Amino acid sequence: MQLDQITFTRFVAALTVVFFHYGQSVFPANIPFLHENLVAGPIAVGYFYVLSGFIMAIAYYHPLKEKQRSINKRKYWIARFARIYPVYLLALLIIVAAKIKTLPDNWDALILHLLLLQSWIPGYPITLNTPGWSLSVEAFFYFCLPFLILWVYKHGTKTLNLFAIILWVATQIILLTLLNSDAYAPKNYLHDFIFYNPLMHLNSFVAGLLVGIYFKNNAFKEKTNKQTAWNSWNNTAGVIVSFAIIYLLIWARPYLEQILGIRLAFTNGLLAPFFLFFIVYLASNKGAISQLLSHKWMILLGEASYSLYILQKPAHGLYDKIVVPRISLSETSHFYIFLILLIAASILSYKYFETPMRRYIRRKLA
């Protein structure tokens, strides 16, 4: 099942992470109505997790096909390793090379990063390549996926429904309680547990997986039985309305905090239901929006978004060291030059490093 129209949304989400790290005060992020959404990088990572669960269901769940109701775990894990690790390791090695003088004080951090375990240990998630913490979380999801799908094959979706609801509610209660406790402070150990621990993001992935299973079941039935149950989803209005709701919720977060008198975080699955409405509407859409987002250049940017995301810190470090001291420009000009170079580098990485390495590893280890 091809869902090319969704691919470009990964690029948009990755772009907000770059704005969050390096462009919070540049135009147009300095416009109040746009600021919260353009720098919504941490929330965009939550979108990645929801989308990852949905796409994994599309790729690995096989409805109504008894002969395919199994997963070759070894082959699957090799494929996932080949997908994320080469570029992840490249970015990490560039950071290590830049910090070689202080590396003796960070051997434990390096080992955790190499093993994709840094997000489990408070104090370590963002010690080296900052965006890499989310890959530590994603690796845990990849480990869990075969067991979750096999559970659905054996027991159906009812228990997974219950688990997903309980997990989502429990995560939000724990998040709000700890985030508003006296023990919480930015960047302390409690902060690291709340925002980086894989268990605090599992609800997003499971929700995406569950909806992906339902989506594929219905799409399969529509194809085999020639039903039109999904026709109501295939409209541009659904995409626009769901996107607008997400935009307004993110924009309104500071005002909601003032009204409620508490801290809020949209990073740990709170917006997962709205993300899923958007994803399902877009995945079902056959109109102009879908055709536009399925253009080859849109797909290429979406495919290159992983390299853009994981290479942003080492790329910015190199730009800051090589270009900034030699060219006197405004902060905005430097940011957009860096962004253009980063996008170009991410496309080159995807075409000439990420994809060849993925194929090589799968061929050698399969």
Residue 221: pLDDT band (50, 70, 90) is low
> What average pLDDT does this structure show over 256-265?
93
Alpha-carbon dihedral sign for residues 303, 134, 51, 63: positive
pLDDT value at position 225?
46
Q: What band does 230 get if pLDDT is binned at 50, 70 and 90?
A: very low
- The pLDDT > 70 percentage for the chain reads 93
Mean pLDDT of 95-99: 88
- Average pLDDT on 226-247 reads 73
Instruction: Give yes or no for a contact between 63 and 220, defined as CB atoms under 8 angstroms apart.
Output: yes
Whole-angstrom Cα distance, residue 210 to residue 230? 17
Q: Count of domains in the chain? A: 1
- Mean pLDDT value across residues 115-129: 94
Section 89-95 average pLDDT: 95
Parent domain of 156: 4-365
Burial grade of 4 (CB within 10 A; 0-12, 13-18, 19 or more): middle
pLDDT tens column, 44-56: 999 999 999 999 9
Compute the average pLDDT of residues 299-315. Answer: 96
Please tell me the distance from the alpha carbon of residue 301 to that of residue 345, in angstroms, as a whole number: 11
Angle between helices 73-98 and 305-322 (to 10 degrees): 10
For residue 67, pLDDT beyond 80? no
pLDDT number for residue 194: 95
Q: What is the pLDDT of residue 99?
A: 81
Cα→Cα distances 250→203, 238, 243, Å: 19, 19, 11
What is the predicted pLDDT for the residue at 80?
95
Residue 41: the pLDDT is 94
Q: What is the pLDDT of residue 223?
A: 54
pLDDT of 207 over the 50 cut: yes
Average pLDDT, the chain: 91
Taking 70 as the threshold, does the pLDDT of residue 181 lie above it?
yes
| Banded pLDDT at 70 (limits 50, 70, 90) | confident
pLDDT of residue 339: 97
Q: Predicted confidence band at 320 (pLDDT cuts at 50, 70, 90)?
A: very high
220 — pLDDT class (breaks 50, 70, 90): low
**pLDDT at residue 229, rounded to an integer:** 43
Predicted pLDDT of residue 316: 96
Three-class SS of residue 202?
Answer: helix
Average the pLDDT over 351-363 and give the result. Answer: 95
Q: Which of the two residues, 11 and 101, has the higher pLDDT score?
A: 11
Enclosing H/E stretch for 88: helix 73-98
Query: What mean pLDDT comes out for the span 202-231?
Result: 76
Q: How much of the chain is in helix, strand and coil states, percent to nearest 5?
A: 75, 0, 25
Reduce the secondary structure of 150-172 to three states and give it as a string: HHHHHHCCHHHHHHHHHHHHHHH
Res 224: pLDDT: 46
- Residue 8 has a pLDDT of 96
